[in-house]
Structure 1
Amino acid sequence: MEEPEGPYDYAKDPAYTHDRTEPVTPAPSGLSRTAQGIGRASRSTARAVARGSTAAYTGARKFTHSGGAGESGFSRLLELHAFNTAGDAAVAISLAGTLFFTVPTGEATGQVALFLVLTMLPFAVVAPLIGPFLDRFRRGRRWAIGATLAIRAFCCWVLAGAVVDESPAFYFAALGCLVASKAYGVTRASAVPRLLPTTFTLVKANSRISLTGTGAAAISAPLAVGAATIGAEWALRYAAVLFAVGTVLAILLPAKVDSSEGEEQVDLTPDAESRRKGLAITRAVVNGLRSNSGLRLLSGFLTIFMAFTLREPPASMGWTADPMILLGLVVGGAGAGNTIGTLIGSAASSKAPEKVVIGVLFLDVVVLATVGVFFTWWTAVILGLTVGICQSLGKLSLDAMIQRDVPERVRTSMFARSETLLQLGWVTGGLIGIGLFSLDASPQIGLLVIGALLIAWLVLVVTKARRPELGHATTPPARPAPSAQDDTLRDW
């Protein structure tokens, strides 16, 4: 038998091909199939999240940059405010978990009262000074706004460590956060007029700021809650990061925020010379401030008083489920009311904002008295919704009057000072709420007491609004009648 030349090809030999077997791929195990399914689901989820994030970013950018806001630099202020509100929401959730719900009611009452007093005292002392200070600090507004955010970033980081170590530094850092948050509202208000797009009114601008803040808080709150489930310190670290980003955005605001060209200082207790120069404010603005102070007083009262009341809801409310759910409904109602009021105010062009501010204060008083008599869980939700709507509409009406009646050269100063007064109104209402709760006042008694105070305040506002303009009845015809600016904050 002849030997084949070259290497023998067994693949062509029938004697061998029938014994050959192809390698068999083993069937995937159950664990492998599960892993593959998880991988496919993860990839699909990642793609969906990426598409959703892109759509959300695109929508948010379109909202903040529309109407010329991108060109004027107003969009940067909106982005800054979003980080500020998101950080405040995270701080509120963390402090609520560490100071409010985890300690007995008596101790929580004392701690919250201490914070309110410490927050109010600096403003009570510097309120007459902060307006003139900002007037002289015009060329550093960006740094002033950034400082309020940087201070909170630092305080939140200190708070995170103090929560773990139970350090006394906790109270000082918390105080720093609260005061810096109030100061931010004043400094940010002073910058808004400088960044207005040509097509924007102050009402529209502040409506957009409010909606931006509401949306940012709604997104940030669940993230902060998730971080707080790991530990309260993680929610505070999350807030510190948000404030740090906000600090950078504040410094990157357009340079015209610092410009003081054409601006002058508003005179709250003017003489005849100030009135002649147009540096005073009109009676309508004064009454708008009075009305909004009443609205803020009620908001501060309900925030504190209802928060403690709803820790252990009275049987008369008819609520048997988790108290946290009820508190969430009331707070959610107030937030929804604020958004509804903002939408109504930005859509409606009221020609009589001075009547709107009195009308919403009257509506608050009526609903408050009704809820005081018929106090149930659903009337409490309605009260929160009403207060949110009225506060939002009142503030937007005040903005409209400031734009209409206050000269542009003093408008920035007016915003800073009015915001200071409104902050004091909120803190005062919170202190009243703490006081009534500490006296073991029932919810009905507490609501009726604050209702009586607001009725007296409403009578004052209406009386001042109906008073004839100074000089009109006694000025001889040959002498020009004084303008509406003769009535100022001197009788505040």
Structure 2
Amino acid sequence: MSVLSDLRTVAVHRDFRKLFAVRLVSQCGDGMFQAGLATLFFFSPENMATAGAVAGAFAVLLLPFTVVAPFAGPLLDRWRRRQVLLLGNAVRVLLTLAIAAIMVTQGVTVAIYVLALVTLGVNRFLLAALSAGLPRVVPREQLLIANALTPTLGAVSAVAGAGLGFLVGLVSPAGVMKDGLTLTLAAALFGCASALALRLTKDRLGPESAATGRGRSWAEVGRDLRASAADMVDGARYLVARRTPGLCLGVMAIHRFLYGVNFIALILISRNLLNDPANAGAGLATFGLLAGISFAGNGAGILLTPFAHERLRPSQWIVVCLVVGAASQALLAVTPAWAAIAVSAFLLGLSVQGAKIAVDTIVQRDTHDAYRGRAFSLYDMLYNAAFAGAAALAAAVLPDEGWSALVFLALAAVYLALALGYRSATRRVADTPRDVSVPDARAHPDPA
């Protein structure tokens, strides 16, 4: 089934089209914003990229939101998700314009890093809201198609945004105004995404029990946040009791950890091994090309997953993707030659995207709407924690050149162990759609 035919299948639903438009525009602005951050943190001419420096930057960006993320899900299960998309993107407009103003007037300061952290945190919140709202706009039997299309085409939009930002940089005069212009355009896209969210009615994305959000006092907000901690614990227990979504989140956390180590290695290889470390521009170009190859692997994942779904259960496809991930790392362990690195990047991109589509489908399929916000907030928390952990490991085990045969062999072995462990675990449960008409997992225990 082609991408266009899949898109036609789900695009007949008017509210899906509206939600999809919000995702595309929002992620286009996000790509433009993140491209600027990557250049600043990893490929600035004045900074030499070492394993410790790159890992430290990742830890600073991701670790704080490992702590904040648990509170996002309960709020998504209490507040209207349409309002989250509307206000979240509006907040990003203000934050991005503030960053642009500081860069133009003062240069890179501590405030830039703080505001960038907050902006990225809002982005993770928005992505969780988009995922939690998706089952409300497409039929359950079309969730696999929707999950295959929306994250990948959203990523296409992000890449387009990054490319647009790069193009603006090429045609703009050198100086601080160049960075300010790129960020201002990103803010404009965030504003468009916020406006597009207004096309959806307030209650369309759920949850059913959402509060109105009108007239909230600070005391009421505080009570919500305190309740969020208890709700998150309850949500985790629910997902574990449901078994299939709990297993999927665990697998993806480890998958992201392994991917994170590889991603940091790819940055170091691009700048310090394949190019002169002093030539940051060449390193950025190489990394961009390899990232594009990995993105092509993501595209292969979206094309292959619907075909795989006709022959395999989602859990079986996850196992296949993990084995592909193991092959990518084994190949990279053989040689740091350009061809091997490129093929490895492609295979790992396929592995990540294919597994993610299946995981998203299982979590959405087997989780009641009252818990979906928490499920995807936990997803984000595990994602950030895994990357932060990967940064710490990369700093300890990777050389500054980024390539180590022993490290990549170890990653391949862990991928294989994860595939075997997940396959064994899913054999002990019935990997079929669960009844989600009742929110309490105990009402429908999984058969052993």
Provide TM-score, normalisation by structure 2: 0.77
User: Residue 121 of structure 1: which of 39, 47, 63 is its match?
Assistant: 63
Q: Higher RCO, 1 or 2 (CA under 8 Å, sep at least 6)?
A: 2
Residue 344 (1) aligns with residue 309 (2) = no
CA contact (8 A) 1:150 1:243 kept: yes
CA contact (8 A) 1:292 1:357 kept: no
Deviations 1:87-122 (A, max 9, x none): 121112222333322245546766654443333333
**Pair 1:123–1:453, CA change in 2 (3 A):** farther
**Pair 1:342–1:213, CA change in 2 (3 A):** same
Deviations 1:232-281 (A, max 9, x none): 22211111111111122224323333533389x894454xxx7xxxx865
Residue identity in the other structure for 1:227: V
User: Which residue matches 1:369?
Assistant: 330
User: Which residue matches 1:156?
Assistant: 96
1:297 shift after superposition: 1.9
Residue identity in the other structure for 1:194: R
User: Residue 249 of structure 1: which of 184, 192, 196 is its match?
Assistant: 196
Residue 259 (1) aligns with residue 206 (2) = yes
Which deviates more from structure 2 when the two are superposed, residues 103-112 or residues 427-436?
103-112
1:290 shift after superposition: 2.4
User: Which residue matches 1:335?
Assistant: 295
Residue 282 (1) aligns with residue 242 (2) = yes
CA contact (8 A) 1:287 1:354 kept: no
**Pair 1:63–1:467, CA change in 2 (3 A):** closer
2:86 and 2:443 mapped to 1: Cα distance?
A: 42
User: Which residue matches 1:81?
Assistant: 23
**Pair 1:113–1:160, CA change in 2 (3 A):** farther
1:458 shift after superposition: 4.4
User: Residue 195 of structure 1: which of 131, 137, 148 is its match?
Assistant: 137
What's the Cα RMSD here? 3.5
**Pair 1:246–1:486, CA change in 2 (3 A):** same
1:368 and 1:119 mapped to 2: Cα distance?
A: 26
**Pair 1:188–1:347, CA change in 2 (3 A):** same
CA contact (8 A) 1:202 1:400 kept: yes
Which deviates more from structure 2 when the two are superposed, residues 359-368 or residues 321-330?
321-330
Deviations 1:16-37 (A, max 9, x none): xxxxxxxxxxxxxxxxxxxxxx
Residue 433 (1) aligns with residue 394 (2) = yes
CA contact (8 A) 1:68 1:199 kept: no
Residue 381 (1) aligns with residue 342 (2) = yes
**Pair 1:443–1:343, CA change in 2 (3 A):** same
2:159 and 2:429 mapped to 1: Cα distance?
A: 46
Which deviates more from structure 2 when the two are superposed, residues 337-346 or residues 109-118?
109-118
User: Which residue matches 1:42?
Assistant: none
User: Residue 75 of structure 2: which of 133, 145, 169 is its match?
Assistant: 133
CA contact (8 A) 1:313 1:323 kept: no
1:405 and 1:66 mapped to 2: Cα distance?
A: 25
**Pair 1:436–1:344, CA change in 2 (3 A):** same
Residue identity in the other structure for 1:356: W
User: Residue 238 of structure 1: which of 182, 185, 206 is its match?
Assistant: 185
**Pair 1:251–1:402, CA change in 2 (3 A):** same
1:184 shift after superposition: 1.8
2:417 and 2:327 mapped to 1: Cα distance?
A: 13
Which deviates more from structure 2 when the two are superposed, residues 65-74 or residues 328-337?
65-74
**Pair 1:68–1:451, CA change in 2 (3 A):** closer
CA contact (8 A) 1:356 1:394 kept: yes
1:90 and 1:220 mapped to 2: Cα distance?
A: 5
Unmatched tracts of structure 2, length 5 or more: 173-177, 211-230, 276-280, 431-441
Residue identity in the other structure for 2:187: A
Residue 221 (1) aligns with residue 162 (2) = yes
1:185 shift after superposition: 1.7
User: Which residue matches 2:150?
Assistant: 209
**Pair 1:168–1:456, CA change in 2 (3 A):** same
CA contact (8 A) 2:51 2:402 kept: no
1:485 shift after superposition: 3.0
Unmatched tracts of structure 1, length 5 or more: 1-59, 316-320, 470-480, 488-492
**Pair 1:408–1:185, CA change in 2 (3 A):** closer
1:237 and 1:384 mapped to 2: Cα distance?
A: 32
1:286 shift after superposition: 2.6
Residue identity in the other structure for 2:197: A
CA contact (8 A) 1:90 1:224 kept: yes
Secondary structure at 2:309 match in 1: coil
2:7 and 2:60 mapped to 1: Cα distance?
A: 39
2:185 and 2:23 mapped to 1: Cα distance?
A: 16
CA contact (8 A) 2:266 2:402 kept: no
Which deviates more from structure 2 when the two are superposed, residues 157-166 or residues 379-388?
157-166
1:366 shift after superposition: 2.7
How many residue pairs match? The answer is 400
Residue 298 (1) aligns with residue 258 (2) = yes
1:357 shift after superposition: 1.0
User: Residue 97 of structure 1: which of 39, 53, 58 is its match?
Assistant: 39
Secondary structure at 1:159 match in 2: helix
2:140 and 2:77 mapped to 1: Cα distance?
A: 26
**Pair 1:369–1:348, CA change in 2 (3 A):** closer
**Pair 1:362–1:248, CA change in 2 (3 A):** same
1:403 and 1:121 mapped to 2: Cα distance?
A: 26
Which deviates more from structure 2 when the two are superposed, residues 156-165 or residues 420-429?
420-429
CA contact (8 A) 1:99 1:111 kept: no
CA contact (8 A) 2:89 2:191 kept: yes
1:73 shift after superposition: 0.8
2:112 and 2:423 mapped to 1: Cα distance?
A: 45
CA contact (8 A) 1:86 1:221 kept: yes
Q: Among the aligned pairs, what percent are the same residue?
A: 22
Residue identity in the other structure for 1:256: D
CA contact (8 A) 1:297 1:425 kept: yes
User: Which residue matches 1:25?
Assistant: none
Highest CA radius of gyration, 1 or 2?
Answer: 1
